[in-house]
């Protein structure tokens, strides 16, 4: 079994597996939607992660009618969401750790600055 990110599939294999033309895969690469690895001889090699990403692109374009520019936006947002999810999980673990110790280090404490306004009323 191969690693999820290990580049092992030739363009012809991916095209046949997904029932698309190899030129479509090249177009996706030109658009920056998928970036396959290259061998020393410049042969494209796709990982399982790449194949799954291509499946998502196909689902968005075929089933939902999203154009490639929209697909690019969706993929970028998906990456952002994953990054934020990872950050949330990290912060949750930090919060649990600090809760167990019943302390929060000064550099980690949150201080909210509330603005206050003074209203001065002058009588004539």
Residue 119 has pLDDT above 60, yes or no: no
Number of domains present in the structure of the chain: 1
Residue 39 lies in a domain: yes
Residue 113 lies in a domain: no
pLDDT tens-digit readout, 55-114:
999 999 999 999 999 999 999 999 999 999 999 999 999 888 877 877 666 666 665 556
Give me 46's structure tokens.
């796709």
- The strand order across the sheet containing 9-10 reads 9-10, 44-46, 37-38
Residue 116 lies in a domain: no
For the entire predicted model, the pTM comes to 0.72
49 touches 14 (CB < 8 A): no
Residue 4 lies in a domain: no
What mean pLDDT do residues 9-38 have?
A: 96
Segments forming the whole domain that contains residue 17: 9-103
Residue 112 lies in a domain: no
Residue 77 lies in a domain: yes
How confident is the model at residue 3, as a pLDDT?
A: 87
Per-residue pLDDT band at 115 (split at 50, 70, 90) = low
Residue 14 sits in a domain whose CATH number is 1.10.1660.10
What mean pLDDT do residues 8-34 have?
A: 96
Residue 17 lies in a domain: yes
Residue 81 lies in a domain: yes
How confident is the model at residue 108, as a pLDDT?
A: 62
């Amino acid at each position: 079994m191969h690693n999820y990110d290990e580049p092992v599939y030739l363009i012809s294999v991916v095209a046949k597996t997904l029932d698309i033309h190899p030129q479509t895969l090249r177009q996706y690469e030109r658009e920056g939607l998928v970036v396959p690895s290259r061998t020393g001889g410049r042969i494209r090699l796709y990982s399982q992660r790449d194949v799954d990403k291509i499946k998502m692109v196909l689902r968005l374009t075929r089933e939902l009618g999203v154009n490639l520019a929209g697909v690019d936006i969706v993929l970028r947002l998906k990456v952002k969401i994953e990054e934020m999810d990872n950050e949330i999980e990290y912060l949750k673990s930090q919060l649990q750790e600090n809760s167990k110790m019943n302390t929060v280090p000064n550099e980690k404490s949150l201080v909210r600055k509330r603005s206050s306004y003074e209203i001065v009323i002058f009588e004539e």
